[in-house]
Structure 1
Amino acid sequence: MNFISPQNTDLLLSEAESQNLYLKLIEQINKDFNLANESIDFPVSTLPDELKIQLHEKMYRLIQYKFAEYLNLLYIIDVPEDQIKKLDGSDISQLAEQVAFLILKREWMKVWFRNRY
């Protein structure tokens, strides 16, 4: 089974749930955010919709108020720079949503590969 990158946040989260890896995804997100000194602590009881909304809000605040920390977080999570550069930054809310998806995609890739290999 090859890794196929989901096309949006909802598909990614439902894929994680269907493979029983959703809790691992939350753990990975918490771990990487803490490595970047950006405290975020999603309880394992966090529902996918809540995760999506809270991650979007966190990214919005980082972009708006703590840009250096935002860049450090992207580096630690290892979000591909070329994908970030392709995003349109004219609407910060929309940008935060797109960045949250890229973060989820990268974290999902880590969890999926660790589970598979």
Structure 2
Amino acid sequence: MTDLKTFDDLVAKANQLELYAKLVLQLNKDLALANIDLEFASDVLPTSLKLLLHEKVYQLIQEKFMDYLNLLYIIDVSEEKIKQMDGNDVVELSDNVTFLILKREWQKVYYRNKFSS
């Protein structure tokens, strides 16, 4: 799990284990729980997934900060990792947060798959 340094690493691992669709499903589930109006098709391209999620996170930070915090809480993104980020550049911050969200969702899918077999 610690070898996932980039979005491409995450997608490659998800595809290798044939869990990409489950990753998208988990993300959709948590977005719905957080009342975020965004849903992905199960066959969404990874680049589109990242771009659309990044745009939504950016919008939430700028316009609906409490919804953004609620999303991070529901997904269970590390508060420490968020605090370590530089908040001066909102575009960069939202990109980094997007990766943390996807990484946390991947952890849920990976461990659920590993231990349910």
TM-score under structure 1 length normalisation:
0.95
| Pick aligned residue for 1:23 from 18, 21, 24 | 21
Partner of 2:51: 53
Aligned equivalents of 2:79, 2:107: Cα separation in 1: 16
Partner of 2:108: 110
5 Å matches for 1:65-84?
65-84=63-82
* Identical-residue share of aligned pairs (%): 51
**After TM superposition, which residue ranges in structure 1, 4 or more long, deviate above 3 angstroms?**
none
Aligned equivalents of 1:24, 1:55: Cα separation in 2: 16
Aligned equivalents of 1:39, 1:66: Cα separation in 2: 12
For the 8 Å contact 1:5–1:105, the answer to whether it is kept is no
Partner of 2:30: 32
Q: Residue 13 of structure 1 aligns to a residue in which SS?
A: helix
Aligned equivalents of 1:31, 1:12: Cα separation in 2: 19
For the 8 Å contact 1:36–1:73, the answer to whether it is kept is yes
Aligned equivalents of 1:78, 1:7: Cα separation in 2: 19
- Give the C-alpha shift of residue 34 in structure 1: 0.3
Number of aligned residues:
115
Instruction: Compute the RMSD of aligned alpha carbons.
Output: 0.9
Q: Residue 62 of structure 1 aligns to a residue in which SS?
A: helix
| Pick aligned residue for 1:41 from 36, 39, 42 | 39
Aligned equivalents of 2:4, 2:87: Cα separation in 1: 22
- Give the C-alpha shift of residue 5 in structure 1: 4.6
Aligned equivalents of 1:24, 1:97: Cα separation in 2: 22
Aligned equivalents of 1:58, 1:34: Cα separation in 2: 13
Aligned equivalents of 1:38, 1:116: Cα separation in 2: 28
Q: Residues 5 and 79 from structure 1, CA distance in 2 versus in 1: closer, same or farther, beyond 3 angstroms? A: farther
